[in-house]
A and B are shown apart, each in its own frame.
Chain A
């Protein structure tokens, strides 16, 4: 990747955390995604203004014993997969989300 990659949560999904697993449900096709711990970190910090490499550096590397470059590569793959399903928005510029995703509280 040459430039920064910004990630934001789509407004077309609903999310709820249950037993450390984040469940994301897509409104357009009712698909359910279950995110693991690292994917949940990316999801929770995807504010559209923090670049992915900074998220990985600040939130993932300190928590898991993993090299930054390796973690970033995995994170990029993850966000592109989720973006492909409409769960995340990706851009090389900061993103302003129109409305936050519906967060369902227990």
Chain B
């Protein structure tokens, strides 16, 4: 018989993004089912997890994805607070707790923050960018809201696998950088494919009268990259690591400005 969904296992759901698994436990099965639906394609059956979170559901406030978030570290413990949730975790024990109401947005924010901190320590980062794989190579399309991330994703030909139209997941390895699929969606409201590939190029998006690709000088590329990296911690060591990562990335990955007309021909200049 065809299985329509992965069964919930012992009131826990493991969400694996970029090879990092966060196991979420809750006494509320309806909440876990909601997470399974929200993160379909990223729910993992791994027995081990890189992080364990226990969710305490309650009236923790109003869920506002645009509210200011506070990320602090004290005595080895990270605390993340926003109007709608409060979370704490210890990297040493790899355990944490989150108090939130029964909504999918709070834990989504926590996962973005958790992964941004973990990636920062490994030379990677989350980037405001659409990303896609074509012919075994990943391409990133960075820009603020309205720059054209979702447009580029919508225009992708059939042989392109979409990783995300909003938040790209960049991992560093000894051989270079790879982009991984994420469940973090933009206007497209479509989860990315849970696959990865080496990054071939990053394009800074701009809409214009014709399709055009121009190289971007390194310093400008670093500035543009940093303005699109998601980062939340006001921590000197982490900021230093972030600056280092951005410079390393620019030194290894071609960065260009892609001015484009929003029609299918734009994919003809992406290589």
A32 contacts across to B, CB distance below 8 A: 223, 226-227
Q: How many residues of B contact A (CB 8 A)?
A: 21
Contact with B along A1-28 (1 / 0, CB 8 A): 0000000000111111011010101111
Within 8 A of B (CB), among A19-45: 19, 21, 23, 25-30, 32, 34
B234 in contact with A23 (CB, 8 Å): no
B219 in contact with A21 (CB, 8 Å): yes
- Chain A: interface size category: 20 to 34
B222 contacts across to A, CB distance below 8 A: 18, 23
Contact with A along B229-244 (1 / 0, CB 8 A): 0010011111110111
Kindly state whether residue B212 has any CB partner on chain A within 8 Å: no
Complex Cα–Cα for A25 and B242 (A):
9
Complex Cα–Cα for A16 and B246 (A):
11
Complex Cα–Cα for A102 and B222 (A):
18
Closest Cβ of chain A to B242, distance in Å, is: 7
Complex Cα–Cα for A22 and B83 (A):
37
Complex Cα–Cα for A32 and B244 (A):
13
Known: A15-B243, A23-B247. 16 other contacts (CB 8 A): A14-B242, A16-B243, A16-B244, A18-B218, A19-B217, A25-B239, A25-B243, A27-B235, A27-B239, A32-B223, A102-B237, A102-B239, A102-B240, A104-B240, A104-B244, A106-B251
In the assembled complex, 11 residue pairs joining A and B whose CB atoms fall closer than 8 Å, in A order, are: A11-B236, A14-B239, A14-B244, A19-B218, A25-B240, A25-B243, A27-B234, A28-B234, A34-B223, A102-B237, A104-B247
Residues of B within 8 A of A (CB): 217-219, 222-223, 226-227, 231, 234-240, 242-244, 247, 250-251
Residues of A within 8 A of B (CB): 11-16, 18-19, 21, 23, 25-30, 32, 34, 102, 104, 106
